[in-house]
Structure 1
Amino acid sequence: MSNGQRELAWFKSSYSGSQGDDCVEIAITESIIRVRDSKDITGPTCTVGGAEWERFVRFASGR
């Protein structure tokens, strides 16, 4: 990347659609989680802190 930032590693859920394009992707850094639409990888991202992401995952998984 030209601005000195390292390339983000994006991950898709194993629960994504069978075609693999019906999901969100996440990239985890030291301090934040970035979320994007897997069908629009150049589009906007949603950024949340680690604690907020952990609460969301707990809520979404019913734990």
Structure 2
Amino acid sequence: LQIIIQCLVGLIITCYGVVHVAGIFREIRVSAESESKTWDMLSNRQAFYMFNHRGKAIHSSNRAGHFG
């Protein structure tokens, strides 16, 4: 019973800290970032682009050995 009371008190203190210490909540605007993008670019993940990979080495070895 004591641990349940401690958990509830901790939860209440945490909720109070998150709501009152964080400051004023502001609206998150998605439209400002997405106005410059087209529909094709919305699902584009530029962080996952990779140009240096082992595909070049595999392709060059196939050309040298004339496999295929």
Q: TM-score, with normalisation over the residues of structure 2? A: 0.21
Structure showing greater radius of gyration is 2
Say which structure is richer in strand.
Answer: 1
Say which structure is richer in helix.
Answer: 2
